[in-house]
Amino acid sequence: MCLVLHAINMKGLFFLCVVLFISCTFKPSGTEGTDSLSKNRTESVKNDSVKDNMLETYINSLDIRMELEDSIFSMYPDTLHMNIINNSDYKLLTGSRYSMKYFESGIWKSISQLENTIWADVEIPVDPQSSRGSDAILFIRNLKPGRYRIEKEFSIVIPTIKRSPNNIRITLSDEFILN
């Protein structure tokens, strides 16, 4: 009888060792998907990053720019006159809204007075392979002499296969000096 119990204990010990070995070396059935999901997410983020870089490179290769007619002012101007040049094959859309920054201590700082401005809801198109003049009325009267930048957001209208527009937003800017 003692031999039988010892054999049962040896079988139990062997069984326990096999179970521990299997649980340490093999993954449970639900974790393969988890690892592949996290790998897919990482690859998706990498792919999105590559796509974003490719898109940014492509957009930067388009000849779309904004140029101020004058860039040095001895007196405070009431209006900045801009030319929007669109040498791309895509239509641009913008509105009357703009933002301004000033250069101080080596960095560009936003002019906060424009953040609370109520802008007219106007759509200004710029056709492909064309240019268009635009004016920015300067609402702020207390700008000190220095280096400034005006920024304006545009949508590049890229038609898709489904014939619904796919807009990509870009910001164009130009600098001026107020003496």
pLDDT at 127: 96
Residues contacting 47, CB < 8 A, separation 6+? none
Please write the tens of the pLDDT for every residue from 25-35: 444 444 444 45
pLDDT at 55: 73
pLDDT above 70: residue 109: yes
Supply the pTM of this predicted model.
0.66
CATH number 1.25.40 is the correct assignment for the domain at 63-178: no
Residues contacting 21, CB < 8 A, separation 6+? none
Dihedrals φ, ψ of 127, to 5°? Answer: -70, 160
Please write the tens of the pLDDT for every residue from 41-84: 455 455 666 766 787 778 777 899 999 999 999 888 899 999 99
Cα gap 155→167, rounded to integer Å = 6
Residues contacting 137, CB < 8 A, separation 6+? 78, 79
**What is the mean pLDDT of the segment spanning 108-127?**
88
Domain ranges of the chain: 2-60, 63-178
